[in-house]
Each structure stands twice: as C-alpha cells, then as structure tokens.
Structure 1
C-alpha cells in the first residue's frame, strides 16, 4: 500500500459505554440531551464545591473528597488503584462512581466518615436513630471501613447490653441513640452474629421474643428489602418464649401474694380488690413473655 492509497480501515471513534449524567441542584430544572440521566445534588450537606469525587446512589449525587474516602475504605482504595471501570465516567472534572446503595444509607455512612449534616440533639447531646446506625454499620462493613464500623457498633452496644437493669434507666442522650423500635432487634441480632459480639445477644434476642408472631416478619430496610433472623436464631427465640412466659407468671404471682396489712380497716375489701387485679392482669398477660412489664 502506498501513501497515496486510501486506507480501508475505519477510524476508531471512542465509544461511551454509559450515558452522560446531568446533575442538578435541588429544585433546578433543565432540558436533558438524548441519553442523559438526571441526578439531584444532595441538598447542601454532601455536595462539596471543592470535592473531587462524585458518588451516585439512587437519583442522588454526592460530591465528596476522594482522598478521605480512599484513606478509610479499602474497597474504594482498591477501586481507584486498579482503575476500575466503575470510575471511568466524569462530571465537572470529577470521576463518577455509581453505587447500588439507598441514598439515605449512603448519607448516614458519609456522616460518620466526614460529618457535614446538622446533628440531631437530645438534652444537648448528639443522638442517632437505629436506621441511621444500621445503614452506617452495613455500608462500613461492605466498603471495609473498620473505624466507622467500630463507632457505629459501639453505640448499638449501649442499648443492646447484657445488663438488663440498664433497660429501666436507658437515657438516649447518654447512649447517643434514640430507643430503637422492637423489631430493630432482629437486625441487631444479625449484626451481633456478623461481628461476633455476643454481649449484644441476650437483650436483642429477648426483644425479638416479645415480638410474638411478628418475629417472622423481619426488619424492613429503607430500600424495602427485609432482613430476617437465621433459622437457628428464630428457633432459639420460639423456644425461649415458653420459658419467659413461665417466668412472667411466677413474677405476677409474687406481686400479688402480699396480704393486707394488720392496720387495714377494710381487710376483706382490700383482699378482694387484690384478687380482682390479679385476675385481670393474668388474663391480659396470658402467654405474654415480657418480664419487664408483666403485661401490665
């Protein structure tokens, strides 16, 4: 082939395997080009003007610091060290990484890693709710951020404690955690198993027992997925309910064993009132296994 002969080879045109992204401010509207995907910046908290990495989760975009994320996450560090295809898109000069996580979960994880959101306070002290800690823990575990995982776990351990007396004196401001709903205990048991934290199990398993038949419904996550106990833990809770119910009956019997005092002027009436209250409580507590309230 001479230099004058036209080449029969087609010139390569760089191909884009993923469509462009359009990232808009909250409330902003714009006409999108063909194939563009629209994302909304995360309010104010996690769209940092000098950030150099964009994370996409759901329909939300987060602009954060790549160095801080890779320093704390082995997964993200490996991703960029290997030049993963997940980071080949760019926006405003920043690499873009698409994540499969719920945007609220990602926000809670980032809040532990690089606090930007306004804190929720109780008696002047910062507190989290269970959903926030659950999200922060699981994403920290997923992306291998041991510091975040440890911090989230330490807060959960203040509520799911082996010291049952702490139940009556639980203070959200001191624990840094709003009292979780009872079905959260299902997720707490799974976290305890995952992290080999047996100190969380006694109270978490007890709380599951008090759910009665709802223990099989599981704990619903923000993304709509449902987290269940393992078969072994479910069997353990079903077996424990009978023993706890017997303990409740024994506890109630002790409460109503006392007779009217010697100075009582209405011995018969008081004894009858005591028996009536005992019968009513026994009826209401039939089969109950909540030894802290006794069905009252």
Structure 2
C-alpha cells in the first residue's frame, strides 16, 4: 500500500523481492517488473547508466522533473516497468556488464539474446542490436563455398561421434576448430529485429533440413535443437511451402536422355534416373539440394555419363543457392 504522505510503496506480496545482483545500494532509481508468477522484482540502478545507453528513451523520461507525489521504494523514485522481470534483468545485466554480450555472441548462443534485443529496440539501445547484427553476419555462411566448409565440418563431427561411441574411453581427443551452424529460429527472429535479412535464406534452409521429430542432440544431426515453439505460424507455412517448391523444382530439373554415352546408353540412363529419383526422395524430406555439391555417382555407369551427372549436381547446387530467397518467398 502507498503511504499518503511519502508515496513509499511497501511490498504487496511475501514473494516480492529485490534482485540479488541488480539491487545496487547507491543506485538512485528503482525499476520494478512482474515475474511469470506475477510477483514483483525490484532493480535498484543508476539513472546515469540508463541515460548513457538510452539517451532518447530513458534520457527523455528522466528529463522531466520528478513530481512530488511520485511513488518511492527504499527512499528513491520507483518506476513500474511494463516489461517482464526476466527480460528486464537480462537487459540491465548487459548495460552494467557489456562484456557478457561478447561472451554470449562468441558462443553463438542467440536464444539468450532474444529478450535483451527486444528491450534494446524498445528503449533504443542501438549498440546491442549492432553487435548482434555483426555476429549474425559472421556466424551464417553467405556463399556456397562457406556453406560447404560448414557441411564438411559437420561430417567430421559425425565421424568423431560415431568413433567415440565405439572407442575406448579417452582414446580419442575431441576435435577442435569444428563448428556447426547456430540455432536457426532465434537467428531468424534476431535477423528481422536487427535488420540482417541476408542470413534468412540459409537460416531457413538449415531449419528445413532438421527432422521435426528430433528434440535432442543426435549423432546424425549434430546441430543445436531448433527453438520451434518460437516460430510464427507464417514461417511454419513458409517451411512447408518451400519444401514442396524445392521438390517440384528438382524433379522438373531431372536428367533428359542423351545420345553421347560412352558405352551402353540405356544402362547409363537407368542408373542416372534411379540416382535422380533416390535423391528426389531425400529432397522431399529435407529440401537440402546443397548436399549434391561434390556428390559422386555410384554404379556401373560410363565415365562420360558419370561426369555429366556430377557436373549437373554442381550447377544445380549453385543455382539453388542463388535462388534460396525465392524458394522461401523472402524476395517479396
């Protein structure tokens, strides 16, 4: 309840509390926010820190003289924030310890940046969004060459995981320098919030190729588990339509009969068509035509037809990468 003379607020619930790390004794303002159980969390901070990072939002807020009847808490002005306590805590932590954002971004732990970025945009703390944008651009491949480097490293990780399950304990050191792509859904959300549209096509492709029934680390798919619950209905539909669009395109690009076969044309054509149909079945599942890059043709097929088919794989991979925006309808 509020004291009619002083405007001092007393805790309204036994579960209301002061944040253990962000209740600074010499702070000159208290921000309060509700947690997910509707209890109030109090953050005692410095106006100067807020204004330095947000001259527009917080600067304008504090430029207005404090009214005499303003609510107070613990002897300083109290501002009741509309944000949830967890988001506010993550946001304030970065303002007071900017180095922590470097640690998060270096680890490509983009889900941890969703709440801070949301408040950074709301309160116009531009440097947070710029740092996230820069890391997103560095973390996601922007060329077929870079994608293939990551794909090879994923293959090395699979091989190491497979060996580790059978090798004696301590017989093999963990591979160093190998990396997988970041969690895709948080990357997609942050890319839109921080204006990095260039990463969206590869982020959606990475999400598309991840089996929906996998919810934990898997040796075959050594990637961060997607935060699927955060994906919008529109983007769910985007994935479904993209898979159909990619499958249809690949099927239409199938090999046509040719006459310049080095040996038995019919035998080579049968193997070629069988190979194509098998790949089409894989594409219908994961939509990832880029795995054709460098793929070798197996079977009793002449060298000329083998080379022709492998060249076709290469050119389709290049064409597919160039048109990712179209397949995911990101060029509208």
Q: Hey, what's the Cα distance between the residues in 2 that align with 1:112 and 1:252?
A: 52
Q: Residues 44-83 of structure 1: matches in 2 within 5 Å?
A: 44=21, 46-57=22-33, 58=35, 59-73=40-54, 74-83=56-65
TM norm structure 2: 0.52
Distance change >3 Å, CA 154–CA 111, structure 1 → 2: farther
Structure 2: runs of 5 or more not aligned: 154-178, 214-225, 256-271, 296-332
CA contact (8 A) 2:8 2:73 kept: no
**Residue in structure 1 matching 2:242, options 240, 243, 249:** 240
Asked if residue 141 in structure 1 is aligned to residue 140 in structure 2, the reply is no
Name which structure has the greater RCO, CA cutoff 8 Å, separation 6+: 2
**Secondary structure of 1:62's match?**
strand
Match of 2:4 among 8, 14, 24: 14
Aligned equivalents of 1:37, 1:182: Cα separation in 2: 40
| Paired residue total | 233
1:1-296 equivalences in 2 (<5 Å): 14=4, 19-21=9-11, 35=12, 38-44=15-21, 46-57=22-33, 58=35, 59-73=40-54, 74-83=56-65, 88-115=70-97, 126-127=106-107, 129-167=109-147, 169=149, 179-188=181-190, 190-191=192-193, 195=195, 197-210=196-209, 220=229, 228=232, 237-245=239-247, 283=281, 285-293=283-291
The secondary structure found in structure 2 opposite 1:183 is helix
Contact 1:136 1:152 in 2 (8 A): no
Structure 1, unpaired ranges of 5+ = 1-12, 22-34, 172-176, 221-225, 254-273
RMSD over equivalenced CA pairs, Å? 4.8
Counterpart secondary structure, 2:92: helix
CA contact (8 A) 1:108 1:136 kept: yes
Quick check: 2:8–2:75 contact (8 Å CA) kept in 1?
Answer: no
Q: Is the 8 A contact 1:160 1:203 kept in 2?
A: yes
Contact conserved, 1:48 with 1:63, CA < 8 A, in 2? yes
User: Residues 209, 179 of structure 1: CA spacing in aligned structure 2 closer, same or farther, 3 A cutoff?
Assistant: closer
| 2: CA distance, partners of 1:71 / 1:180 | 32
Offset at residue 151 of structure 1 (A): 1.7
TM-score (norm 1): 0.57
In 2: Cα distance, 1:147 partner to 1:50 partner: 26
* The structure with more helix, counted as a fraction of residues: 2
Contact 1:218 1:228 in 2 (8 A): no
- 1:149–1:279 distance in 2 versus 1, CA, 3 Å: closer
- Structure 1 residue 290 displacement after superposition: 2.2
Matching residue of 1:6:
none
Question: How far off is 1:36 after superposition?
Answer: 5.2
